[in-house]
Amino acid sequence: MNTPVVPHALPGQPHIAYQNGTLMVEGVHLSDLARVHGTPLFVYSKAAMLSALGAYQRGFAGRQAQICYAMKANSSLAVLQVFAEAGCGFDIVSGGELARVLAAGGDPAKIIFSGVGKTRAEMKQALQIGIGCFNVESEAELDVLSQVAVSAGLQAPVSLRVNPNVDPKTHPYISTGLKGNKFGIAHEDTLRAYRHAASLPGLKVVGIDCHIGSQITETTPYLDAMDRVLDLVGEIESAGIPIHHIDFGGGLGINYNGDTPPEADALWSQLLTKLDARGYGQRQLMIEPGRSLVGNAGVCLTEVLYLKPGEQKNFCIVDAAMNDLPRPAMYQAFHQIVPVSPRPNAGASQVYDIVGPVCESGDWIGRDRQLLVQAGDTLAVLSAGAYCMSMASNYNTRGRAAEILVDGTQAHLIRQRESAFDTFALEQLV
Ligand code: PLP
């Protein structure tokens, strides 16, 4: 798929736009940020995050709903701070994420703890801090959580993650609600698991949850999953176990490459119509969006190091790599890549594979892109706010990138660039 030499509209990113021929995030020139802070550099728009959150808030107006940002999408402290200050709770999957939320000022009572492999130490840490709910993923985990709670003299609020066996129609690696996935409790085992949970002394059943996958661009899988979950709520409550809240997970997709997911408010208007029709519209609702809150709020700036023409392929070698932007290597994912300051159409553009310096053939960021570039130019990898920095690694002893949060005309450095020394600071010689 080729992209134009000078792009007209960037996908779904009103706060990231060309002005007078150069790319800006809100009121800040990206070329200035690259010059001052170097590259690779992640830049996020606070206004874009709050506007994405606003769509959910509009969708839930007049309802009892808690939005828990799934922080795995981007767990940088200042990003968490933006959502905490906007009233969000958090969906966490590790003790490390719990520590981050607390460091960013998140409210423990609004934290839900997901994940198939919580350790006893993580359970104890979360119980003692008083999190809102454990989203439990197996009957074995119920037993362990009850033991940990009893020995701490506490009761753990629990919701069971149901696997509704619904196809979210997304990449297999980010599909989580099908029978063959490791997540959740099988639909047919759910009632038994709830009876089990209700019988354990250390647990208090408070909810039910599901999450069927990520980068979902259609409404139907959500409607199908909702039907299946509501059927279960009916069965569980008929068995005498009250369900206080219903959590429908996250998963809403973003526009990477002409994708057309529904807007969050439009999606929820349809889902709430179904909830109302089935008599559950006034229940306490929870959701766990990640990607849709941050994905299109961020870009990654990278400098062109070398152009390497070849017989079969031309390569544009940049200073960002798969350790900074792992999604293409992991899921063959697409990110638009555009010049920060497009050159006038003087010379001929070329088709390039955009690749990084890491010693892997899988280290590519974009394939077959039409670009007019020279060494030294800065490119912006778009839609890089979610599942990029939070998945970044030190492979090839590459320090992780710096991060900037833009708020209007202000650019805040929210993470310093990691030095080589930082990458081996915890190691020692024998
Ligand atoms: N909730 C759970 C349990 C998840 O596993 C995930 C992501 O995998 C999310 C929420 C967030 O998903 P997304 O970023 O697609 O909204």
| Mutate which of 53, 254, 288 for ligand 1 pocket (most atoms within 8 A of beta carbon) | 288
Atom of ligand 1 nearest to the CA of 253: 15
What pLDDT is attached to residue 346? 56
The residues annotated with a catalytic role in the active site are 359
pLDDT of residue 184: 85
Contact 401, 320 (CB under 8 A): yes
User: Does the CB atom of residue 254 touch ligand 1 within 6 A?
Assistant: no
- Closest atom, ligand 1, to C-alpha of 174: 8
Instruction: Find the 353 Cα to ligand 1 centroid distance in Å.
Output: 30
Picking from 267, 255, 387, the residue whose alpha carbon sits closest to that of residue 331 is 387
What is d(CA 50, CA 88) in angstroms, rounded to the nearest whole number? 11
Give DSSP secondary structure letters for 170-189.
S-GGGB-SSTTSSSSEEGGG
CA triple 295-300-305, angle to 5 deg: 155
217 lines ligand 1 (CB under 6 A): no
Gap from CA of 183 to ligand 1 centroid (Å): 11
> Using CB atoms within 10 A of its CB, is residue 414 exposed (0-12), middle (13-18) or buried (19+)?
middle
Give CA–CA dist 245/233, Å, rounded.
10
**CB 292 less than 6 A from any atom of ligand 1:** yes
Probe ligand 1: pick from 83, 211, 215, 268, max atoms within 8 Å of CB? 211
The domains of the chain are located at 16-45+295-423, 115-287
Which one-letter DSSP state was computed for residue 40?
S
Q: In the chain, count H helices and then E strands.
A: 12, 21
CA-based nearest residue to 71, from 106, 25, 45: 106
Does residue 355 contact residue 305 with C-beta atoms inside 8 Å? Answer: no
Global confidence as pTM = 0.95
346 C-alpha vs ligand 1 centroid, how far in Å? 45
Q: Is the CB of 289 under 6 A from ligand 1?
A: yes
Q: Within 10 Å of residue 303's Cβ, how many Cβ atoms?
A: 18
Q: For residue 112, how far is its CA from the centre of ligand 1 (angstroms)?
A: 12
Please identify, by atom number, the ligand 1 atom nearest to the C-alpha of residue 250.
16
- Return the best residue to mutate from 91, 94, 136, 170 for the ligand 1 pocket (most ligand atoms within 8 A of CB): 91
In sequence order, what E strands does 123-183 have? 133-136, 156-163
CATH number listed for the domain at residues 16-45+295-423:
2.40.37.10
**Nearest atom in ligand 1 to 214's CA:** 15
Task: For ligand 1, say whether the CB of 251 is within 6 Å of any of its atoms.
Answer: yes
Instruction: Could you please state the CATH topology (level 3) that the domain comprising 115-287 is classified under.
Output: TIM Barrel (3.20.20)
Question: Does the C-beta of 253 come closer than 6 Å to ligand 1?
Answer: no
Q: Is ligand 1 within 6 A of the CB of residue 73?
A: yes
Q: Are 348 and 277 in contact (CB under 8 A)?
A: no
Bond prior to 164 in cis (omega within 30° of 0): no
State residue 329's pLDDT score.
96
Centroid of ligand 1 to alpha carbon of 136 (angstroms) = 15
SS3 for 200? Answer: coil
Res 7: pLDDT:
44
Q: What is the pLDDT along the chain (430 residues), one digit of tens a residue?
A: 333 334 444 666 789 999 999 999 999 999 999 999 999 999 999 999 999 999 999 999 999 999 999 999 999 999 999 999 999 999 999 999 999 999 999 999 999 999 999 999 999 999 999 999 999 999 999 999 999 999 999 999 999 999 888 877 666 655 665 666 777 899 899 999 999 999 999 999 999 999 999 999 999 999 999 999 999 999 999 999 999 999 999 999 999 999 999 999 999 999 999 999 999 999 999 999 999 999 999 999 999 999 999 999 999 999 999 999 999 999 999 999 999 999 887 567 899 999 999 999 899 999 999 999 999 999 999 999 999 999 999 999 999 999 999 999 999 999 999 999 999 999 999 9
Compute the distance from residue 153 Cα to the ligand 1 centre, in Å. Answer: 31
CB proximity list for 234: less than 8 A, separation 6 or greater: none
